[in-house]
Amino acid sequence: MKKVDVILGLQWGDEGKGKVVDVLTPNYEVVARFQGGPNAGHTLEFGGEKYVLRSIPSGIFQGGKTNIIGGGVVLDAILFRAEAEELAKSGHDLTRQLAISKKAHLILPTHRILDAALEAAKGSAKIGTTGKGIGPTYTDKVSRSGMRVGDLLSPDFERIYAAAKARHERMLRSLNYEYDITELERQWFEAVEYLKRFRILDSEYFINEALTEGKSVLAEGAQGTLLDVDFGSYPFVTSSNTVCAGACTGLGVAPKNIGEVYGIFKAYCTRVGSGPFPTELFDETGDALCRIGHEFGAVTGRKRRCGWLDLVALKYSIMINGVTQLIMMKSDVMNDFETIRVATAYEIGGERTEHFPYTITDDLRPVYTDFEGWRCDLRGCRSYDEFPEAFRRYVEFIERETGVPVKIISVGPDRAETIVR
Ligand code: GDP
Ligand code: IMO
Ligand code: MG
């Protein structure tokens, strides 16, 4: 029996999960997204083309694989349709390669409106969500009043929808939120019909049977560990379990059947939306990371906040997920930096700690270790031995500190710009 390998983000999302899933897919027969929804934006580049995936797994471009939208995902039929039709235009017919779990929850038009209304009501305490209805949809799931993809096949579908909509409208009235749902609702009903073209299945059986038959499965996470609803920088988090345990609940895989856990991180840090960020830079270096790294949200276009690599947070994420292999992205962005800093501890109220704290307060100061920059273009390197010594020192320091090997190093957005050790 094979095990499921999991790939997930160790920071605040946008680490480069899409690129790495695409690179690793040739080794797998099934790729399955286990949580999140169209708040994700996973970018892939190859053959001079660039694609951004939101709900469709990033294994879709490596032909002949089965890609599954798992039960832990929340699906917006309108955005899914737009994404699938865009791929169809570029010659990728998904109907045979993609299957959707009956247990995935549906994002309703009113969930999107509620997301906006709840954010507006929070005022300056807003989370800075992607506005895709993620929080309200997961709230309905947990409060046992959600709608699932499997309900599409039920004769009661319209009745279940009407009850959910009426409940949401009562909430929107109490929030005094003005909206017009007519056009969105029309599109949504058309889009849920479109969904029925795809294979809708009990994905937990599909995946477990695949494992028993000796097929290999890769689970693709969305967001990052520091956005996890339980272990992230709460309340500035998303509404799902982005950690490895989320692959078990999102796909119906037993913990003993998890194999490798690939943890992805950028050689620096970014965050989009509100919430604490200990190593954030507000100076020219932060601007340079943003500019050179093209750090603008793939979904919302928002400027991502940038800062130095934070080893306190990284070690915390490795611990929570049981990471077995590290994957380091975007080191090339710092090619011309003279000095590169890494936070190795925090000082909170004068006390030093290496633990990621319950809340991150204004008196937290990162303690940095400085590295000499490598001052050369990593994008040309195609093996670990070709990397300059200063860069190898940086990588080996991270390995020593975390106790986990860095097995893949990405030095550019293209598939080909990937070094496997
Ligand atoms: P994801 O959400 O984790 O899949 O990551 P995103 O796609 O949101 O953000 C990662 C961005 O960095 C994308 O624009 C990628 O094309 C780009 N990228 C990925 N790896 C590298 C790399 O090694 N170097 C550079 N310069 N860009 C990269
Ligand atoms: P990928 O998969 C980066 C952030 C939002 C906001 C918070 C809650 O591309 O890495 P939500 O819409 O989920 O309720 O927003 O989480 N966020 C992400 N940040 N990458 C993502 O996904 C994100 N998905 C959500 O900016 O701060
Ligand atoms: Mg992203």
Q: CA–CA distance from 167 to each of 111, 140, 162, 185 (Å)?
A: 11, 11, 9, 16
Is the beta carbon of 172 within 6 A of some atom in ligand 2?
no
Q: Which mutation among 239, 272, 294 tests ligand 2's pocket best, with the greatest number of atoms within 8 A of CB? A: 272
Mean pLDDT of the chain: 97
Q: What is the pLDDT of residues 377-412, one digit of tens each?
A: 999 999 999 999 999 999 999 999 999 999 999 999
Q: For atom 5 of ligand 2, which residue has the closest CA?
A: 129
**29-43, 161-175, 289-303, 383-397: least confident range:** 289-303
Q: Is the pLDDT of residue 300 over 90?
A: no
Task: Quote the pLDDT of residue 90.
Answer: 86
Ligand nearest to the CA of 221: 2
92 is catalytic: no
Sign of CA dihedral 78, 80, 86, 89: negative
Query: What residues does the ion ligand 3 have nearby, CB within 5 Å?
Result: 14, 41, 298
Helices (H), 157-274: 157-174, 182-195, 203-212, 245-251
Q: Which mutation among 14, 44, 266, 328 tests ligand 1's pocket best, with the greatest number of atoms within 8 A of CB? A: 14
Rg of the chain in Å (alpha carbons): 21
The answer to whether 150 and 200 have CB atoms below 8 angstroms apart is yes
Is the beta carbon of 127 within 6 A of some atom in ligand 2?
yes
Q: Is the pLDDT of residue 91 over 90?
A: no
151 vs 300, more confident: 151
Q: What is the pLDDT of residues 205-252, one digit of tens each?
A: 999 999 999 999 999 999 999 999 999 999 999 999 999 999 999 999
Average pLDDT estimate for 150-170: 96
Distance (Å) from CA 261 to ligand 2 centroid: 21
The burial class, CB within 10 Å (0-12 / 13-18 / 19+), for 249 is: middle
DSSP secondary structure string for all residues of 298-338: TTT-PBPEEE-EEHHHHHHHHHHHT--EEEEE-GGGGTT-S
pTM over 0.85: yes
Pairing of the two strands 105-106 and 74-75 = parallel
Q: Ligand 1: residues whose CB is within 6 Å?
A: 9, 13-19, 40-43, 45, 294, 298, 329-330, 332-333, 410-413
